[in-house]
Amino acid sequence: MGKIYRISGPLIEAVGVDDARMNDLVKIGERGIIGEIIKLDKEKIIVQAYEDTTGVKVGEKITSTREPLAAELGPGLIGSIFDGVQRPLDKIFEKEGIFIKSGTSAISLDRKKKWNFIPTKKNGDIVNEGDEIGYVKESSVINHKILVPPGYHGKIKEIKKGEFSVEETIAIIQQEGLSNSEIKMIQRWPVRKARKTLQKLPPDTPLVTGQRVIDTLFPMAKGGTAAIPGAFGTGKTVVEHEIAKWSDADIIVYVGCGERGNEMSEVLTTFPELKDPRTGKSLMERTVLIANTSNMPVIAREASIYTGVTIAEYYRDMGYSVALLADSTSRWAEALREISGRLEEMPGEEGYPSYLSKRIAEFYERAGVVKTLGNKIGSLSIIGAVSPPGGDISEPVSQSTLRATRVFWSLDAHLANSRHFPSINWLSSYSLYTPLLDDWYKKNLPADWILIREEMKSILQNEAEINELVQLVGYDALSEIDKLIVKTGKMIREDFLQQNAFDEVDTYCSLNKQYKISKTIIELHNKEVGLISKGTHINQIKSEEADERIAKMKYIKESEIDRYFIETMKAISTVGEDI
Ligand code: ADP
């Protein structure tokens, strides 16, 4: 048994720990606080505690669990709220109230609950790791597939049917030349290691978020990676919440490592009440929440990212599309910096460790569309918010994140200040997925979707240039067509790009509705271009009715949008008839 000989905040040095290995978990002191071995010397080990070490004394015992930090995977994850090391916060809150005592250990998955296991394989079938052998109904919308755990394969000797807890045996597999293996519904996986897959595939389907500026202009792919850097108050959390609520992923894993406790409590109180627009069921029926508690040391935040991504990969392996939302990854990077500083490592840029970029890249590499070990297609999308100090994205965390991700939603403090939300800047943002998704758009959306999108982008760019010109020469000096571009640009910004997350209708906008709003804007624009090219002045064009109808369109319910669209197109067709 090891002995503690030095304590410096969350870092503990100890000697005499048997069989100490890098990244294994240890139990510290009488209270059994959890920690992770982060450095090994000849005689001593250095441990990072996941909890407050106040009260721990030199000389107290320390023992290795001989296991790395691992996530418990099995039915019961959906609808749960865990902390960064997967302790079920909802259950702990019930028992102990909001302040968790350090040393509180709680098992992640309910051991008593019985699940109705329905086998999809039979005796004699040959199975390999990752193959589905049955499922349980985990929530009203998710069938939790039970997969052969990693490392197992062989012939099914026995497979059961009926009510079982996660630790009961549901099948026995005979491995050639080896003894029989009992299969249970629970498995463990070390969180710092990506789960195995057969193959990575290119992303080809959009992750539809219901947010117009994202879906139409800067789309995210299922299996893709996106970064949302932005200064405090620019709307990162709201964007992450909107995607968690409305995106068409099957499963959402939300990792909240925000510094503001109330942000997480907002998620905890609002999510259970929200309904999924596709199923009409509570969003918690497809969501796993991971939150850092206020009394865990900063470095415990480091683990939450990995716990989250491991749970997300586990559902991906069942063939689901999973979206992981992390808010904010800067807190995670700060944790790395703090640990590195305490270890007295050579600092890199701005005090971050030199391996910061590598760690960030490795995290985002766990995203992707994959062929799973069980030959299913699953996807894991990762969307990370970054909070650069002062909003300056030249700092190392933003830069490393931008290198590792393929979508950049550039949050703009000027837009946020002028209450343009989401404050995603249409000139500096980009999505490298757009060309990969165009085939999907061609197959699934009206033929002119791509054309309309490109026209909107080009009008917005022209508008920005013309606005610069206006500063120099004044509006009256503009040509009639430039005046029109100023008008349409404003219309695109206000009636299409701006979207109110707190409006019951506007918070979610289907692709059909996105198309219809953008179509009417471009239809009207082209009509006006036609009139101007015949010599009409812009102030002679009476477009008030059409303008008003377009402005109101985002507040029209999904069920009424088709009718409203037809009437708006009629109004546009009459523009210019009086000239
Ligand atoms: P950050 O996480 O970047 O600090 P928040 O996401 O908390 O910023 O957003 C700050 C505020 O901006 C919100 O409380 C809200 O008032 C406003 N806001 C952000 N996005 C939207 C939106 N889409 N619709 C309406 N208001 C928004």
- Assess whether 350 and 209 both reside in one domain: yes
What residues does 368 pair with on adjacent strands? 380
Whether 356 contacts 336, CB under 8 Å: yes
Dist. CA 413 → ligand 1 center (Å): 11
186 with 203, same domain: the answer is no
Ligand 1 atom nearest 499 alpha carbon = 23
Q: How far apart are the first and last CA of the chain?
A: 93
**Is the beta carbon of 235 within 6 A of some atom in ligand 1?**
yes
Ligand 1 within 6 A of CB of 413 = no
Asked if residue 280 belongs to a domain, the reply is yes
Same domain, 299 and 370: yes
417 and 347 inside one domain? yes
Residue matched to tokens 């299409």: 496
Ligand 1 atom nearest to CA at 411: 3
436 assigned to some structural domain: no
Q: Is 256 in the pocket of ligand 1 (CB under 6 A)?
A: no
pLDDT of residue 102: 52
3-state secondary structure of 21: coil
Are both 295 and 388 inside the same structural domain?
yes
In the prediction, which pLDDT does 380 show? Answer: 98
Which tokens in the block code for residue 484? 């029109």
CA 159/CA 508 separation, integer angstroms: 44
CATH code (residue 181):
2.40.50.100
Decide if 453 contacts 206 (C-beta within 8 A).
Answer: no
The C-alpha angle 471, 477, 478, rounded to 5 degrees, equals: 85
The answer to whether residues 406 and 463 belong to one domain is no
Task: Check residue 263 and give its pLDDT.
Answer: 59
Question: Are 202 and 180 in a shared domain?
Answer: no
Q: Report yes or no on 103 lying in a domain.
A: no
Closest CA to 87 of 317, 385, 296, 330: 296
Distance from the alpha carbon of residue 225 to the mean position of ligand 1, in angstroms? 22
* One domain for residues 395 and 295: yes
Domain end residue (candidates: 135, 155, 190): 190
Cα 493 to ligand 1 centroid, rounded to whole Å:
17
Indicate if 250 and 345 belong to the same structural domain: yes
Rounded to the nearest angstrom, the distance between the alpha carbon of 198 and the centre of ligand 1 is: 40
Which structure tokens are listed for 534? Answer: 């015949």
Residues 173 and 227 in one domain: no
The per-residue pLDDT for range 184-221, each reduced to its tens digit, is 999 999 999 999 999 999 999 999 999 999 999 999 99
Q: How crowded is residue 420: how many other Cβ atoms within 10 Å of its Cβ?
A: 17
Identify the H or E element spanning 3.
Answer: strand 2-8
For helices 300-316 and 329-342, the axis angle rounded to 10 degrees is: 130
Could you tell which of 209, 214, 238, 499 is best to mutate to test the pocket of ligand 1, judged by most ligand atoms within 8 Å of the CB?
238
CA angle 68, 143, 131 (to 5 degrees): 60
Nearest-atom index, ligand 1, CA of 258 = 2
| Whole-number pLDDT of residue 542 | 94
pLDDT digits (tens, 9 = 90+) for 40-87: 988 899 998 888 888 899 999 999 999 998 999 999 999 998 888 888
Tens of pLDDT, residue by residue over 228-284, are: 999 888 999 899 889 998 999 999 999 987 655 555 666 777 777 777 877 788 889
Instruction: Report yes or no on 158 lying in a domain.
Output: yes
- Look at residue 356 and tell me if it is in a domain: yes
CB 204 within 8 A of CB 221: yes
* pLDDT-flagged residues of the chain (< 50): none
Q: What residue numbers bound the domain in which 262 lies? A: 78-94+198-431
The model's pTM:
0.93
Residue 345 DSSP one-character state: P
| Residue 335: half-sphere exposure toward Cβ, Cα within 13 Å | 26
- The reply to whether 222 falls in a domain is yes
Q: Which CATH number fits the domain that encloses residue 518?
A: 1.10.1140.10
The number of folded domains in the chain is: 4
The pLDDT assigned to 356 comes to: 92
